Structure 1
Amino acid sequence: MCGISVIVALDQKKNLKNNIDVTSPHEGIVNGFHRRSVSEKLEESLDLLAHRGPDSRGQWVSEDSRVALGHVRLAIVDLSPNGVQPFHGMDGSIHAVVNGELYDADRIRADLIREAGYVFKGHSDCEIVVALYKQHGISFLRHLRGEFALCLYDSRAKYFVAARDRYGIKPLFWTYLEGKLLVASEAKAFLPLGWKPKWDVKCLMDDGWRHDQRTPFEGVNKVRPGHYLTCNAFGSIEMRQYWDLNFPNKVVADPRTEEEIVEGVRSRLLDAVRLRLRADVPVGVYLSGGVDSSAVAGMMCHLFKERGNKIGIEKGLERMTCFTIAFDEASGMDESRIAERTAQHLGVTLIKKYMNEEEIAKRFEDAVWHSEHQNYDLNFVGKFALSEAPRELGFKVVLTGEGADEVFGGYPAFLPDFLREPDHAWPYSNLTDEERQKQLTKAELVAAEFYKGRALKLLSHGDSLADRQLNNISSPASLASYTFPLFAPWTSSYGESDPCVTIANNVDGRVRERMLKKWHPLHSALYIWTKGNLANVLLACLGDRSEMAHSVEGRLPLLDHELTEYVNKAPPSLKIRYNKENGFSEKWLLREAVKPFIIEEVYNRKKHGYAAPTGWPRDGPLHKLFQRLVTRENVERLGFVDWSSVEDLVHKAFVGHNTVALRCTNVVAQWVVLSQRFGIETATPVPDST
């Protein structure tokens, strides 16, 4: 797990795709810098990524001074100097920097040695990238299994590739600046390279940062999950897809038995956990009160006992070690007691990270700096703090349970879409059509009330533009933000903004066709959440960014693509199970698969999303923090926020105890922090083009 920063000088005589205009001539020096200074600039960029890789760093500049690859390393597999990047091919023509972990690398390495006679420098899992490209060309991406972001340059073909893993677990950003293509693990790495941050106001209004490739920063984009960006002969930049989610035809019955499908999930999940225990450093696990992390911990413990894997045996830690966050029990958000009971059942060590209001307040600004985008909940600060615990005990790697809700159907918003159509793929369901219609009406009312209380607005659906494109599923509306009243009046010059339309527009036309004609509405909803909220929020500020801020690598077995491809084929009625006596059981297929590895309390427990408390006292640390951040001067410096809509928010949040006001205050405060830390220009009205 590491950080990368890359500079590529483009051919100014050719136009770039994606509506990027190139006007200045190429000066024949590396990316606008003299060769002597490019190394210094790249080093400054790597300094801002040092938290991602404190163990070593390296860089390479091509002979023609057009490509510069930089890397900071968190040493996990092959701790020797042989694992230091950039990696170079045997003949010196292929060069790569990789962030992440690639699993089953030993088997792939053996195949490449046998079939191609490839000679590896060391034993790093990431070194297989160069060898696979040499053997398979751009098709090498299909052979990678794990969490990764990478940049590769073929100097003979003058071909540059930047790619991101299938689910977007690892971040990868790019921008175009004065004839340079810049690519990095975090946007802050662009600052020493001449980037002057500006707000992308339209993106903020659209919720584009949350649902598509945009970021809060104008001109800075993400490489989409399951995609790769190419630059051929320093000419046009193109983005192409190499993998996507798929689901079966909703009218075709699944011929398998329930037991067969459950066992298939169990065996694949065990394999995913096993592969993620490969490390030359101690491996821990994050544990909450939910079925997801409990399943990972239970399976990890099972493998530990069965195979004798040496997990966590360092500095006297002779047992598997779990880490959990503990909020004030009176808040109703604390799950540490349940995690404690799971740890006792497994016979493993549990380390608690206690979080009170003061602890959240003092970490808030640093957590925002590392996230690089807003979050509606303070839970990201809790995850930021939790990631301190493994490093304090010498752990560089933790397994986590993220992704299960989007794969197995865990969120309340999914129930209406599960009920929207009959499930012809599973004719054994005891849910009659009459009961389905009745439960659908009830579920939509419950979901609307739930999301309204979380400062999200469940908009009316059924005849909107977004609804017509996405087969009338309601899940997109459950993701629509409630921040639009905060924007200054002049922002109307950007035109109308509807986050639901943003979500619909983010879906490929071929996929929209499948949603309309082929996929069950539940599967369409899973796709929407996976491509947007999971990749851009949960895997970012609640995943990589919080963990890597403390040099901790998170590994996500529940997003192993060989597992998820199998789960995606299962009928909706096995993901959300209906029982006349107990109602609906979310993630039923996962619960059944992991039942041997979790305690009964967790097996029977309803979904409780990870969230920070929403009730905080007047004149407490958070109240004082937000009073300091959300001032007229700071808000007006943003430029795009209407002060008259904001001035009473802090009072309403901490004196009136209004949850919606607290979430909106939280968002504005984060914008202020980003503005200050990044030095973002004040947004100004768009000049009249008439």
Structure 2
Amino acid sequence: MCGISCILSLASTQQHHHAQQPRNGEHKGITTERARLENELDQSLQQIVHRGPDSCGNWISDDCRVALGHVRLSINDLSPSGAQPFHAPDHGIHAVVNGEFYDYDRIRAQLEKELPEYTFTSHSDSEIVIALYLAHGLNFTEYLRGEFAVVLYDERKELFMAVRDRYGIKPLFWTIIDDGRGHGGKRLCVAAEMKAFLPLGWTPEWDVRSLKDAGWNHDTRTLFKGVQKLRPGHYMTCQCFGHITERPYWDSSYPDKRAIDPRTPEELIEGVRERMLESVRLRLRADVPVGIYLSGGIDSSVLAGMVAHLVKEQNISVGSAPPSERVTCFSIAFDEDSGFDESSIANRTAEWLGVKYLKKLMNEEELAKRFEDAVWYCEQHNPDLNFVGKYALSEVPQEAGYKVVLTGEGADEIFAGYPLFLPDYLREPDQAYETHNPLSAGERTKQFENAEEEAQEHYRAIGANGGTSDLSIPRRMLNGISTINGMTAFQPDVFAGWTEKAFPACDPQMTIACNADGIARHNINEKWHPLHSALYVWSKGNLPNIFLTCLGDRTEMAHSIEARTPFLDHHLTEYVNNLPPSVKLRWSPEEQRFVEKWILREASKPFITKELYERKKHPYSAPTTWPRDGPLHKLMKKLVTKENVELLGYVCWEKVGGLVDKAFGETGDAKALRLAIVVSQWIVLARRFEVKTASVQEC
């Protein structure tokens, strides 16, 4: 798990040649340009050195048109031979990798047979990228299994290529910046975090349209103008320093809702269990110890249970730790009376499994101390303090000397774990599994009448706007699913009046609808069950852009922690996607309720406690009630001032002036708290990134 920063000249050959000519008495223009690139790349990598504190490397082409930079977190092959970039000098191929590839021992052995002309120079999993490219060309992406961002350059073909993993577990940003040489040339910059662009000539500006229509959350845009995310499951190519294209190499898919599934529930449960165990086993391979994040939920608990099972029953090592050493789990604890502390459940799970359990208390003062740094590392806002909790959680393994942890992100997205999915499950019958579905047609109709209203009550209780039950154009584009109401529930209504005139057509739900391409929308309207459609659109927005960002990579890598996500192994997800809806959300006649993630619970039953098997879903969140004049109240009062708000340029002070006081105290308003958190984060980002004040003239 590492950090990358790469530069590609987009100047024409003539522009580039002119830029290399000696200037101001210089005798060797190319030497000066190389020194400039090395200095820029070094400064860029220093911005993201937290991602790879163990070593730093770069490669610059002879003509100075391509520069690849890398900071390394040593996980596999701890020797110097595992340092990056990797090269195939006889073939003119160079590559840098951020992430992990699994099952690479088998892939490497196969490549050594099929590709005798290539000699591996390390035992790093990352090196298989070059060999796979030599063997399969652009098709090499389909052989990659894991979480990754890759940049590869083929000198002979003048082909620059960037690839992002299937679910967006690893970040990858790109932008085009003036090359600063005064000849009108541009360059494509690609990096693991946006802050890496700061030394390369990037001047951050707010993308107010993206903020208003939630493009930062639901498509490729970010909070900043001109900076985009490479889509999950896509690769970008730049051919001959000019033509940039982006294409998919993988996408989620679901079965035709009318096709009968002949398998029994027992077969399906065993199929999930087998693939889960394989996914966990593959992620225990490392040359350093591997730990586990453990909360009070089923997702992390089943990972801990499966690891304990593999160690005990199959004598498998947990990374470099021998099977004789106890598995180690990590957690944080909120105040017991907050209603959000799950550490007591996690502690009981750890005792039942016989694993070591380390936790850190996270009270209000500790959250406030970490707030601004957590925002800087996340590079975006989040209307919940849970991201600060996750930031603090990643300190625990770091302090214990661990670099790798398993984490439960992704389970709710593939197994339908969130309450907002229920109305879309009930929207149509599950024709594929009528024989094994305990929910009768009459009961489905009865339950559907209440589901959307219950969802609305949930949104109101947490201070969010869940939209309406009316079928808007975006919902009609997506077969009427209501999940997009929940996905747009936290749109901050604090924007300055001029933004309404400058951006009159902003509609976050339309952003979601348009983010799905035409093929996906056809499948949503004609082929897929509404539950699967809901899972699809969620996995394209909230999953990569919040849950795998603020609650994933960015808060983990801030402390040089590599988190591995077994639930997002594509061999597992492809199997789960093709299961009938009614084994994911299942009606229990005995309990008279819907059991979320039913098939995961059944597959996990041998590895978790009875308490967890029977427990209802509790989404991870930080407490939402905080006292007046406490550390968080004081912090936000200091941040949300008239001067700071006006420096943003796009926020109306009259709308936020009393927000902080309204948010705190025993009768604190939940919506006001979320808005105060968001505005505070914008102010932190404005300061840290030195963002220009937004104005109508800039738009």
TM-score range with shorter-chain normalisation?
over 0.9
Counterpart CA distance in 2 for 1:575 and 1:314 is 35
**1:649 pairs with 2:656:** no
Is the Cα–Cα contact under 8 Å of residues 319 and 349 in structure 1 kept in the other structure?
yes
**1:554 pairs with 2:554:** no
Residue aligned with 2:131, SS = helix
2:619 corresponding residue in structure 1: 609
1:682 corresponding residue in structure 2: 693
1:543 corresponding residue in structure 2: 552
CA-based RMSD of the aligned residues comes to 1.8
Counterpart CA distance in 2 for 1:312 and 1:137 is 32
- Which of 657, 661, 669 in structure 1 is aligned with 2:672? 661
Q: 5 Å matches for 1:232-251? A: 232-251=239-258
- CA deviation after TM superposition for structure 1 residue 434, in Å: 2.0
**1:330 pairs with 2:337:** yes
1:440 corresponding residue in structure 2: 448
2:113 corresponding residue in structure 1: 114
- Which of 658, 672, 682 in structure 1 is aligned with 2:683? 672
Counterpart CA distance in 2 for 1:26 and 1:254 is 63
Q: 5 Å matches for 1:121-160? A: 121-160=121-160
- CA deviation after TM superposition for structure 1 residue 687, in Å: 6.7
1:460 corresponding residue in structure 2: 468
Distance 1:393 1:518, change over 3 A: same
Distance 1:531 1:31, change over 3 A: farther
TM-superposition CA deviations, 1:76-125 (whole Å, max 9, x none)? 00000110000001515000000000000000100010111131001000
1:391 corresponding residue in structure 2: 398
- CA deviation after TM superposition for structure 1 residue 283, in Å: 0.3
Counterpart CA distance in 2 for 1:306 and 1:315 is 14
- CA deviation after TM superposition for structure 1 residue 28, in Å: 3.7
Is the Cα–Cα contact under 8 Å of residues 462 and 468 in structure 1 kept in the other structure?
no
Counterpart CA distance in 2 for 1:461 and 1:115 is 57
Counterpart CA distance in 2 for 1:505 and 1:215 is 16
Aligned letter for 1:684? S
**1:359 pairs with 2:386:** no
2:419 corresponding residue in structure 1: 412
1:89 corresponding residue in structure 2: 88
- CA deviation after TM superposition for structure 1 residue 317, in Å: 9.7
Distance 1:322 1:27, change over 3 A: farther
2:481 corresponding residue in structure 1: 473
Distance 1:687 1:210, change over 3 A: closer
Q: 5 Å matches for 1:284-363? A: 284-311=291-318, 318-363=325-370
Counterpart CA distance in 1 for 2:201 and 2:382 is 27
**1:261 pairs with 2:268:** yes
- CA deviation after TM superposition for structure 1 residue 427, in Å: 1.1
- CA deviation after TM superposition for structure 1 residue 313, in Å: 7.0
2:182 corresponding residue in structure 1: none
- Which of 540, 555, 571 in structure 2 is aligned with 1:531? 540
- Which of 358, 369, 379 in structure 1 is aligned with 2:386? 379
Counterpart CA distance in 1 for 2:336 and 2:322 is 32
Is the Cα–Cα contact under 8 Å of residues 159 and 232 in structure 1 kept in the other structure?
yes
Residue aligned with 1:34, SS = helix
- CA deviation after TM superposition for structure 1 residue 487, in Å: 0.3
> Identity, % of aligned pairs?
58
1:18 corresponding residue in structure 2: none
Counterpart CA distance in 1 for 2:511 and 2:227 is 18
Unpaired runs of 5+ residues, structure 1, are 15-23
Residue aligned with 1:514, SS = helix
Residue aligned with 2:434, SS = coil
Counterpart CA distance in 2 for 1:484 and 1:621 is 24
TM-score between both structures, scaled by the size of structure 1: 0.96
2:66 corresponding residue in structure 1: 67
- CA deviation after TM superposition for structure 1 residue 653, in Å: 0.3
Counterpart CA distance in 2 for 1:67 and 1:121 is 23
2:26 corresponding residue in structure 1: none
TM-score between both structures, scaled by the size of structure 2: 0.95
1:17 corresponding residue in structure 2: none
**1:513 pairs with 2:531:** no
Counterpart CA distance in 2 for 1:509 and 1:13 is 38
TM-superposition CA deviations, 1:235-272 (whole Å, max 9, x none)? 11111000000000001110111111110110001000
**1:504 pairs with 2:513:** yes
Aligned letter for 1:568? N
Is the Cα–Cα contact under 8 Å of residues 473 and 525 in structure 1 kept in the other structure?
yes
Is the Cα–Cα contact under 8 Å of residues 312 and 318 in structure 1 kept in the other structure?
no
Is the Cα–Cα contact under 8 Å of residues 295 and 346 in structure 2 kept in the other structure?
yes
- CA deviation after TM superposition for structure 1 residue 482, in Å: 3.7
- CA deviation after TM superposition for structure 1 residue 318, in Å: 2.9
- CA deviation after TM superposition for structure 1 residue 431, in Å: 1.5
1:21 corresponding residue in structure 2: none
TM-superposition CA deviations, 1:348-401 (whole Å, max 9, x none)? 000011100000000000000000000010000000001001011110000001
Residue aligned with 1:157, SS = coil
- CA deviation after TM superposition for structure 1 residue 314, in Å: 6.3
Counterpart CA distance in 2 for 1:28 and 1:589 is 61
2:102 corresponding residue in structure 1: 103
**1:180 pairs with 2:187:** yes
Unpaired runs of 5+ residues, structure 2, are 21-28, 179-185
Counterpart CA distance in 2 for 1:430 and 1:366 is 49
Counterpart CA distance in 1 for 2:370 and 2:324 is 28
- Which of 587, 602, 622 in structure 2 is aligned with 1:592? 602
Counterpart CA distance in 2 for 1:394 and 1:270 is 26
Q: Which moved more, 1:301-310 or 1:515-524?
A: 301-310
1:575 corresponding residue in structure 2: 584
Is the Cα–Cα contact under 8 Å of residues 312 and 321 in structure 1 kept in the other structure?
no
Counterpart CA distance in 2 for 1:665 and 1:31 is 51
Is the Cα–Cα contact under 8 Å of residues 452 and 469 in structure 2 kept in the other structure?
no
- CA deviation after TM superposition for structure 1 residue 26, in Å: 7.4
- CA deviation after TM superposition for structure 1 residue 465, in Å: 1.0
Residue aligned with 1:175, SS = strand
Counterpart CA distance in 1 for 2:383 and 2:398 is 27
Distance 1:378 1:504, change over 3 A: same
